């Protein structure tokens, strides 16, 4: 996104991941100015397009208000999320192999 839509990327830097994954993402934004911009129809459509491209399936995005002191959620992708990632699928297809094991990051 940074290379394709720098303005959108810069606005998105004010958002925090709240929850979700492929299918639906919830982003929290503390400042009204950035929340408004990210919630606009045009911007929402662009975000959903980028997210859908990234996940390889239609992905909706919801923008919520959060306080500036709110802790940042850290979501660990499930093994299925990792196996369904477009990059993993492409590598398996190109190399003609299979994924034998999914291990958590160290």
pLDDT score, position 40: 92
**What is the tens place of the pLDDT at every residue in 79-98?**
887 888 888 888 889 999 89
Stated length of the chain: 106
**What is the tens place of the pLDDT at every residue in 16-74?**
888 887 789 999 999 999 999 999 999 999 999 999 988 888 999 999 998 877 555 55
pLDDT at position 105 over 80: no
* Domain covering 6-75: architecture: 2-Layer Sandwich (3.30)
**Domain layout of the chain by residue ranges:** 6-75, 76-106
pTM for the full predicted model:
0.60
The CA-CA-CA angle for residues 1, 3, 84, to 5°, reads 40
- Cα–Cα distances (Å) from 75 to 8, 26, 72, in that order, read 23, 12, 10
pLDDT score, position 18: 86
pLDDT score, position 63: 94
């Amino acid at each position: 996104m940074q290379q394709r839509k720098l303005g959108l990327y810069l606005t998105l830097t004010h958002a925090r991941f709240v929850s979700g994954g492929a299918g639906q993402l919830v982003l929290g934004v503390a400042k009204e100015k950035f929340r408004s911009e990210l919630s606009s129809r045009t911007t929402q459509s662009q975000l959903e397009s980028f997210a859908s491209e990234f996940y390889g399936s239609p992905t909706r995005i919801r923008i919520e208000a959060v306080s500036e002191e709110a802790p940042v959620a850290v979501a660990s992708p499930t093994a299925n999320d990792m196996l369904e990632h477009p990059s993993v699928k492409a590598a398996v297809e190109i190399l003609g192999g299979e994924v034998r094991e999914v291990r958590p990051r160290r």
